[in-house]
Amino acid sequence: LYPLKIDGPCRPNVIVPYTVQMGDNQSLATFTDFAPKIFGDLRRNVFGVTNEEYIESILPCNEDPNKISSKLITRFSEGRSGAFFFFTKNGQYLIKTLTKSEAQLLLDSLPKYVTYLKDPSNRNTLLSQYFGLHSIKLYRQTIYFVVNKNIFYSMESRDETYDIKGSWIDRNTNRPISDRKLMKDGDLHKKLVLEPKKSYAIYQQLRKDTTFLEQVEIMDYSLLVGIKYARLSNPRHERAHD
């Protein structure tokens, strides 16, 4: 059930192509689902998402299940010249395009990734949660893309967001924090203070996750950190109104 090659032959439950209509016109596109049984099992039994919920999120349809949303087609068309990403309409997932070699790397590491995530001790993993690997052929060009969980979906808003690699080389954005844009290591000029137990749990999980990434020979990764300011109540002020 694990595809060996991203451009391998189509086989049931391994590499499955579908012909779909593009938007409101009569043009056809080929949508390909890679390792559908494997990712379907992950979605249901690890992430708790049904196939119906997933499909409706990434391929929002009106009445015809074989007709791709024109907005989605426009998004892919805009990104044909390079890598790009966007959120699904419901905001739950992040769709990110991959090069052919990146898609192959995901397939190569998929068996170990599945084993790792199914281990009950790794249910708090900080690794990206991959919900599906697909491709769509538009205008004679094949675009590969992966669907990730949007980890900030349940977070109303963020005051600061950082992409941390543990490096100071070219890791500055030169943007003010007030822009609320994605920042890097060199922009973080404060200490993040966590409860001791929570800090230790995160540290231990990061050690396990990075060991796994080392085992699958992936070294280009980062930690996404979101910061939300909380208003602290003033006990003296509250007592004065009791």
How many Å separate Cα 66 from the centre of its chain?
A: 25
Nearest to 147 by CA among 92, 71, 96, 82: 96
- Alpha-carbon distance 26 to 209, whole Å? 46
pLDDT at residue 116, as a whole number? 97
Cross-strand pairs, 161:
182, 226
pLDDT at residue 240, as a whole number? 46
On whether the pTM is more than 0.85, the answer is no
Does 241 score more than 90 pLDDT? no
Q: pLDDT band at 233, cuts 50/70/90?
A: low
Torsion of the alpha carbons at 119, 123, 125 and 129, rounded to the nearest 10: 90
Does 151 score more than 50 pLDDT? yes
- Alpha-carbon distance 161 to 151, whole Å? 12
Does 242 score more than 80 pLDDT? no
Phi/psi at 144 (5° precision): -95, 145
Question: What's the order of all strands across the beta sheet hosting 85-87?
Answer: 67-68, 15-22, 28-34, 130-138, 141-149, 93-98, 85-87
Mind listing the pLDDT tens digit for each residue in 78-106? Answer: 544 456 778 887 888 988 889 999 999 99
Coil/strand/helix, residue 160 = strand
Mind listing the pLDDT tens digit for each residue in 4-62? Answer: 999 999 999 999 998 877 666 667 788 899 999 999 999 999 999 998 888 888 766 55
